[in-house]
């Protein structure tokens, strides 16, 4: 999969997407429980009866997603001829994944949501974020959508979401753009103070409020210094956003796994 004009030598982005199993084995639950500060017997019992506290479930799920993502990163690296054992990746919670065996200029990115994990290796820094809410989460988000939109810092983004034919889908597009922009800053060594300290107003133009119908897009006149480019893929299940400083990327998916919807490139913005 590639962006237009891929005949030239463009920076490569290798993506992989994987799905978490519905549950792990009791031993896996115990191991992850110990990492979350939970006794092994409690973790086994909680896993067996399916009644772990929500915080424990989230911790176990996050640890499983982190491990699966790093395993996919190692496989992508191996395909490039790089020796990056899974155990060598920087730990979860320590910023973007890093590995001593991954040579410059390659960088890694990882995001997970719900049952899906998406990772990438790129020749340039790429911020990446995925949202994959389940049916119950979507219902909850829709019921409090006005409040969620109100938390976003830019009036132009709030208006674009409110005017969209599907405001919830537009909110997911906006939210993942904020996240992806933030993660790009982290990879560049200039992390914003927090996710909503980033600005995406130039990307959420009225012409993109209905991305699925491929409406014509246009830029606004926001003035700043660094170029910002973004791509999005969305369907009824997931929303995925990428942010980079390069105007074009060659996007490849060399591993087996769930496929992504078609990409839409957003208008060029200035950060």
Instruction: State how far the Cα of 64 lies from the Cα of 171, in Å rounded to an integer.
Output: 27
According to the model, what pLDDT value does residue 23 have? 63
How do residues 41-96 score in pLDDT, each as one tens digit?
A: 444 444 455 555 666 677 788 899 999 999 999 999 999 999 999 999 999 988 89
- Assess contact for 238 and 270: CB atoms under 8 A: no
- CA-nearest of 200, 169, 198, 203 to 183 is 198
**Hey, where are the domains in the chain?**
12-20+105-270
pLDDT, position 202? 77
Other Cβ atoms within 10 Å of 262 Cβ, number: 12
Structural contact between residues 70 and 97, judged by C-beta atoms closer than 8 angstroms: yes
- The pLDDT value given to residue 211: 42
Q: What is the mean pLDDT of each run of 10 residues along the chain (271 residues)?
A: 59 96 52 42 45 67 92 98 97 92 97 96 97 96 98 93 96 96 92 86 59 32 64 96 94 92 78 59
**What pLDDT score was predicted for residue 198?**
87
* Alpha-carbon 211 to chain mean position: 18
Q: Which residues are paired to 119 by β-bridges?
A: 16, 110
pLDDT at 214: 34
């Amino acid at each position: 999969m590639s962006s237009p004009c891929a005949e030239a030598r463009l920076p490569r982005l290798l993506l992989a997407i994987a799905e978490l199993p519905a549950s792990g084995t009791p031993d896996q639950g115990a191991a992850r429980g110990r990492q979350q500060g939970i006794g092994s017997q409690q973790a086994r019992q909680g896993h067996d009866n399916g009644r772990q506290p929500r915080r424990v479930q989230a911790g176990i799920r996050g640890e499983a997603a982190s491990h699966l993502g790093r395993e996919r990163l190692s496989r992508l690296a191996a395909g490039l001829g790089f020796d990056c054992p899974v155990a060598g990746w920087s730990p979860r919670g320590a910023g973007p994944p890093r590995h001593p065996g991954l040579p410059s200029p390659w960088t890694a990115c990882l995001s997970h949501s719900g049952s899906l994990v998406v990772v990438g290796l790129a020749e340039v820094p790429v911020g990446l974020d995925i949202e994959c809410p389940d049916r119950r989460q979507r219902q909850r988000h829709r019921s409090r959508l006005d409040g969620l939109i109100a938390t976003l810092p830019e009036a132009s983004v709030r208006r674009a979401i409110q005017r969209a034919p599907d405001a919830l889908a537009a909110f997911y597009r906006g939210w993942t753009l904020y996240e992806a922009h933030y993660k790009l800053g982290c990879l560049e060594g200039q992390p914003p103070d927090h996710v909503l300290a980033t600005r995406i107003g130039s990307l959420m133009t009225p012409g993109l409020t209905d991305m699925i119908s491929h409406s014509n897009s246009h830029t606004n006149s926001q003035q700043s210094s660094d170029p910002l480019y973004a791509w999005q893929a969305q369907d009824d299940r997931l929303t995925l956003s990428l942010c980079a400083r390069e105007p074009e990327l060659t996007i490849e998916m060399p591993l087996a796994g769930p496929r992504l919807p078609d990409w839409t490139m957003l208008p060029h913005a200035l950060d």
